[in-house]
Each structure stands twice: as C-alpha cells, then as structure tokens.
Structure 1
Amino acid sequence: MTKPTLLPFERILTVPESNLIKRSILTAMEVFERWGYNYIKLPAFDHYEVHVKALGSKSSGTIVFKDTQEGELIGLRSDFTTQVVRSVSFFKVWHFPLRLYYFGTLFSSENNTWERFQVGLELIGVKNVEGDAEVISATAEYIKTLGIKGVVATIGHVNIVRKLLENLKDELRDEVREAFRERNLSLLREIFDNGLISRLPLIQGKEEALRVLSELGLEEERVELEELGRHLEEAGIDFIYDLSEVRDFPYYTGVVFEFFHPNIGSPIAGGGRYDTLSQAYGESFPATGGSVYIDKLLPLLKPKPEEKDFFVIDLSHKKKFGFKVASLLRSKGYKVGRDIVRRALEHSLDYAFSEGYKKVVVVTDEKDVKVYTTVKDYYLVSLEEFLKLV
C-alpha cells in the first residue's frame, strides 16, 4: 500500500506541538477574559468581492471557490480582523465598547504553509488612544503569561508616512513607500536630499522621535504617540517608536504596533487601529485590535508533558474492577486512563509514566490496590481506603 505524500503547502503538527497550540488557546481564554473580553467564534468564509475591498492587495493570497448554488465567488478567511468586523455588522444589538477575542486558523496561499494559527483581541467602538493602549497591554500580558521574555514592542502611526507621501509626485509615491518598508536609506537620502525625513527609519529614541514629529508638522500623530507612550510606560511595557511604519493591510488608520523577540526574525504579534474598515460591511464604528502569530511563537515555547492523574491497570481475576475504579475516579474530576492492552506489568508502567500519568493504580482484586508513584515505588492499600483518599 502506497503512503500518500504531504501536500506541498501542508504541515503536520506533532502531539507536543498540538499541545502548545492548546496551551496558547487556554492562555488566551485566561488572560483576555481577565481583561473583560468575550470569546467570538468567527465564520470561515466571506464574499470574495467584499474581502478584496477590505484587504486590498493583501487579498491576493485568498483561497477562492465558487458557490455552486449562487455562482458567487467565496473567499476562505485569510484575516481575522475583517471577520470580527463582519460578524459585528450582523449583530442586532450593540453595547459599545465590544471586547472580543478569538483563536483559530487562517488560510492563505501566500505562505509556504497555507494554514496559520492565531489568537487575538478586538476592541470595537472605542476611538481614543487609551483603547489602543489596552489592546497592546493585554497582548503583552498574554505573551508574558506564555512564559516568553525579552520581547520589545514597536509603536508607530500609519499616517506619518501617508502624509509625507502626499507631498510627492504621483510617480514617486509607490517607490518611496517601498523604500520606507524596506528601510532603504540610500534611496530615501537621494529623494529627500539627506534631510530629516530620510533619517526616520533610524530614529527610535522616545524624546527624539516626538521632537522630530513636531519638526515635520505631524502634531496630531505626535500627540497620539506621546499619550500612548505614557500609558505603556505605566503598564511597564518595553517599547520603542517606529516613525517609518508601513503596513500592507490598507484598513489601518492610526496607531499600529508589533512585538519582536530577539530570537525570531519577524514580528510575533501585531495590530493597530482601523476606524474605517466597518464601512466595507455597511457600518461605521471605530475599532482597534491585535493578533499573536502562534506559529512564530512555537520555537519559543517549551513543551510541557500533558499531566494526567491516574492510569488504571486491572490484574484482578475477572478484570471487572478496573473499569469501575477508573469510572469512579473520573466522576471525581480526575484525568484517568485505563490499560486495555495485554502486556507485562513493567511495560504498562513504563507506558503510563512516559505518557505523563502521576500515579498508576494496579487493581489486584476487589479489595486491594497497588499505587505506583514511579515504575519501582508503590504502596499497598485497600480499595475502599484508596477511594476515600482521593
């Protein structure tokens, strides 16, 4: 029998990797709900035409198929933010602000692996900078709770580069925008005569960054970034300003952010403000949010064995007590496995402890059990007494 090969864009996750995904979900539930956010299950599909309107050029990787009933092109979700806004647009009643979090898989043919896993949160109906600070702070706490240290946030504003591009000739705008994106200092020096604008990608000092924005007449952006910086400093978040931030997603309208780790060559999280995205879905409300790219985080997370409580081995004559013992333990809330493979006791013990079971309960008869704490150490106790103890 020929074994099927992996698809070129496919990735198979191991059990330890899958457990890391599970940990990322459980941590998201713990942290984001602590901040007052509610879970939302998001749809996997969108009208492709609307998807293009919302995502612009970033919709190029959308996996598209035709609805056989209506003949309409449907897009498989490649962005969570658009799906949050789309879902909210169908809510019958809004109570702003809406605090929503999600987790799940994105699909895009732009990546080597067509599936990406993310968790994230969105704050809908809030226009002030304090809302941006909340999203960034909650994201930072999530990353910290996962046990990841040494992370730095970069804080920018998409209108800085957008406003600077308005002063250029049409034929130069795309070229300069790309130069900012790629940090092409030589081209920026050439276009801006080695002036202040050409140095924007190099400016990271907080005081200098704010001063430069004032010198460039970008007072609105300076005020927002200065206020945001105060909030983040109060929250104890390590950050720097990025005055040359360019984003591929067209829906960003203000403050944007990313989180970086020194061992990963690209952002591990990011997001920002998108006050006009709802217009693509026939509504009008401000919003800000952020996502954590779990696939990028996997190398930073230390696998932990999935601990289970009891593994039951039945050596009694009629082998009917092991099932009852396991059922009773489960009814008490314990995680319990039962040996259903015939093999030597030592092999069953090796299996149980290698699978993360804390204790192995060997039922010898209807009265007594042996409770193993290691493959060699055990104590003998009556079945009745053992069940009282647990």
Structure 2
Amino acid sequence: MQSYLDELKPDVNITSFKQKEYIIQKLRDRFMSYGYQQIQTPAFEPYDLYTTVTGTIHPDDMIKVMDPSGRVLVLRPDITIPITQKVASYVNHQSEELRYFYVLDVYRTTFNQQHDYEKTQAGIEFFGNETADSDAEVIALANQTLLDLKFKKFTIEIGHAAFFKEILEMVSISKEEKQLLKQFIQAKNIPGLEEFLHHLEIEESVKELIQEIPFLYGEPLKVIEKAKMLSLTKSMVEKLNRIKAIYETLSSYGYEEHVILDLGLINHMEYYSDVIFQGYIENIGKPILSGGRYDQLANQFHSSIPAIGFAFDVDLLVNQSPKQTDTLLNCTIQYNQSNKEKGIQTAQFLRKHNYSVTLSNEQQKVKSKYIIMLNKNSYTLSYQKDSYEVKSSNELLKIIQKLEGGN
C-alpha cells in the first residue's frame, strides 16, 4: 500500500487517498449489491498455514516474523487461503451458499516496487455453488464493477486451469521443462515454443495441440470451435462446453463484448482448478483483477466445498481510474474574535448538511472553493469571481445548494 504521509507533497497524497477511499466504497457497494458480506482475516498468520497447502505462495515471497514464543508467523501473503480455512473449519461439505468480500492488505517480497511490499486487494469469495451460472455471475460482477469505476475499454480474459494441466500430463518432461513450456505459452513466444517442442519426443498430435495453444485466443465461440478441431480428450471437450455455457450466461448479462477466451491463460496460483480469468484495462500490461475457481482447496482443510473468487489490485485501480471530484464541499468560514461564536455555529450548521467546513482566522490566507465572511447581520459568500450577501445561515445553505446544481 502506498504511503500517504512520507513525501513533501501533501496535496498529492491527500488527493490519492481520497481517490482510494472513493474506489473502495464503490467496490463495497457493488459487492454488497450481489449479496456479499464483508469479512477480515488476521494480518499475521502461522507460517505453516501456507507451507502445508499446495499451490500457494513460495516461501521466499513471504515476509516472516517470530513471535515471543518462537513461533514463525508471516504477514498475510494471500487472502483466499485463510478464508477457505475458516469456512472449512465450520462447514465440512457443500451445504449452503456463502458469499464474502474483503478489502485487505497483502504482503509479499515480490512486490518490492520502491521497497513497497504491501498492496491492497478487494475481492470476493463465493462458496457452495459449483455451477457454470455461478462462474458467470462472479465474472459479471467483475465486469459491472469496472463499469461502475467508469472504465470504458477493458477485457476479461477467460481460461481454464485444468485444460492446460491435462495437456502437461500428456508429455513426460521434467518440472523445469514444464515451467519453461508455461513461459513460452504465457508470453506467446511462438519461435521459442517451436524450438522447445522440436527437441521433445512426443506424439505429433500432442505437439500440434501445444503449438496451437497461443493461437486459441479471441472471441469465445470461434476459439471453442477451432479448439474442437484438434486432438482433444473427452474431458477437454467438456471443459470447453463449460466455458461456452459461462459465455452464454454472460451474454444474458450483456457483458459478452468484454469477454475474450484465452486457452493459454496461466495463473501461478496452483490451487485454481477450473475456470480462471484476468481483467485488463487499456494501455496497462498487467491484470487489474484476477481470479478463478478452486474447488479442491478446501480438501486440504478436510472439507469439500466448491468455490470461486477474484481480487482487484486496488492500488492499480487508484492509479488508472478516472479521477473523481470530491464528494464533500470545501467551505472556509473566516472569523475574528468578535464573531467566533457565530462562525462556529454556522460551521456546525453546514456540517449537519454533510458539507466539509473549515474555520479560519481572517488574517490567514485560505484556498477554498467557497469562502464565507461573517458580517454583523449577514454573510458574504465568495465563489470564483462572484459574491453573494445573505441574511441567515438557511439562505447561505440555499445559495450553496443552488451553486452545486441543486444537490
């Protein structure tokens, strides 16, 4: 998370903080409109929680501390895992739907941008529903949230974690070679991929399938049709049919224009088991949100609960979202010792009507949208180059409301 008080540009920091609070409130409102309830996890978690779960954060990426008893703790590197553990502790099988959202900081050494190891994430976790409709609803929520934040050009890229995992199972290669293969596909490095496959002794049909993966990208129905022409297993075809069902439901929401299918999409969180997705906005090369289905994660906590979720990178949203104007007005009342009581009463009156008001001595220079001077039996309101004289605080309020367009 960005520091807001350690620079010598307080106006910039305050503006950025206000923008962040505005975005977080927008996210909260939208998440709650889909029936999600806010929860929180501890900032410090047992180190073992993450090292005993497969497919999670690499230990080198965690920030570790030791408590007075000698137990190793980590600053929260992930949010999905502790939430799943908590749910699994009181639900041992799929019995009901649970919808949670969070706005929390995560800590990893891999962030390390100007020694900043902290990022704010806002996301949702939907437990207890394993249908394609629930996948579509979650992706629709991500779409609608980006529209709430006034992003006009964005895409949600959908893939399937198990589709690529099944392809890897078809080839007998080392762990290091699998990692290299992932890198070629993720970067869509066609020459590198072809050179890599040339030296592998695998069936030609499998080689052809792998070579085609970087090209299985675009409008979902066309990509699915193209993919089905390749040598696929029955389970691969079923996965494509699942994606088709998700896309058709997203069309009912009216969000199909933002959706792209990428069968080469790879998420480094290995606990994802089925559909995965990432959100991109114009001119930004990294995802602004990512998520997917993780139906087997609860199994590692001795439970069986299907689940899907996603998280926004809030700090990236703050940097890239259209800047919002302040929701509170900036009024300054200038007073002297003889009319200080009147100034305080006027400030309290305007604050009760949800306006931002500061009190300032007449001798001080002020920078404010509205400046209110106190006269013996009236008020003078200055706004831009105009001045308005009114007799009462009620009249003062009406003038400000009129200048704000009746709000």
Q: Quickly name the TM-score band, shorter chain normalised.
A: 0.7 to 0.9
Describe the shift of the 1:174–1:336 C-alpha distance in structure 2 as closer, same or farther (beyond 3 A). Answer: closer
Map 1:1-390 to 2 at 5 A: 14-54=13-53, 55-69=55-69, 71-90=70-89, 96-112=96-112, 113-171=116-174, 172-190=177-195, 191=197, 195-205=208-218, 206-214=220-228, 215=230, 216-217=232-233, 218-237=236-255, 238-309=258-329, 310-315=331-336, 317-330=338-351, 332-343=352-363, 347-348=365-366, 351-353=367-369, 359-365=370-376, 367-374=377-384, 376-383=385-392, 385-386=394-395, 389=398
Q: Secondary structure at the match of 1:149?
A: coil
The count of aligned residue pairs is: 369
Residues 161-203 of structure 1 show CA distances to partners (whole Å, capped at 9, x for unaligned) of 1101111114243443333233332343342656232111112
Cα pair 2:291 2:310 within 8 Å, conserved = yes
Mapped partners of 1:147, 1:233: distance in 2: 20
* Structure 1 residues without counterparts, runs of 5 or longer: 354-358
Any runs of at least 4 consecutive aligned residues in structure 1 with deviations exceeding 4 A, and if so which? 90-95, 387-390
Residues in 2 aligned to 1:89 and 1:340: alpha-carbon distance in whole angstroms: 56
Query: Does the C-alpha gap of structure 1 residues 183 and 382 become closer, same or farther in structure 2, counting only changes over 3 Å?
Result: same
Distance, in Å, in 2 between the alignment partners of 1:379 and 1:228 is 59
In the alignment, the residues of structure 2 paired with residue 147 and residue 379 of structure 1 have an alpha-carbon distance, to the nearest angstrom, of: 36
Q: Is the 8 A contact 1:148 1:300 kept in 2?
A: no
Report if the CA contact (8 A) 1:316-1:364 is conserved: no
Residue identity matched to 1:360: I
Q: 1:384 to 1:296 in 2, by over 3 A?
A: closer
TM-score (norm 2): 0.82
Structure 2 Cα separation of the partners of residues 248 and 263 of structure 1 = 23
Aligned 8 A contact 2:335 2:374 in 1: yes
State the SS of the aligned residue for 1:339: strand
Kept after mapping to 2: 8 A contact 1:89/1:283: yes
SS at match of 1:352: coil
- 1:87-129 Cα shifts (integer Å, max 9, x gaps): 3335589972111111121111111221112211111111111
Please state how far the C-alpha of 1:221 moved relative to its aligned partner.
Answer: 0.8
How far residue 311 of structure 1 moved from its aligned partner, in angstroms, is 2.6
Contact 2:334 2:361 in 1 (8 A): no
Distance in 2 (CA, whole Å) between partners of 1:297 and 1:388 is 35
| Matches of 1:125 and 1:166, distance apart in 2 | 29
Instruction: Work out whether residues 122 and 135 of structure 1, in 8 Å CA contact, stay in contact via their aligned partners in 2.
Output: no
Task: Quote the RMSD (CA, aligned, Å).
Answer: 2.7
- Deviation (angstroms), 1:6: 7.4
Answer whether contact 2:296 2:304 (CA < 8 A) is retained: yes
Residues 333-371 of structure 1: per-residue CA shift (max 9 Å, x gap)? 322322234525xx33xx112xxxxx3332223x32122
How far apart, CA to CA, are the structure 1 residues paired with 2:340 and 2:21?
35
- TM-score calculated relative to the size of structure 1: 0.86
Distance 2:209 2:324 in 1: 50
8 A Cα contact 1:189 1:195, kept in partner:
no
**Distance in 1 between the 2:91 and 2:290 partners?**
30
- The percent identity for this pair of structures is 23
Greater CA drift, 124-133 or 169-178? 169-178
Report deviation, 1:26. 0.8
Deviation digits for residues 307-333 of structure 1 (CA, Å, limit 9, x no counterpart): 433332224624221112212222x33
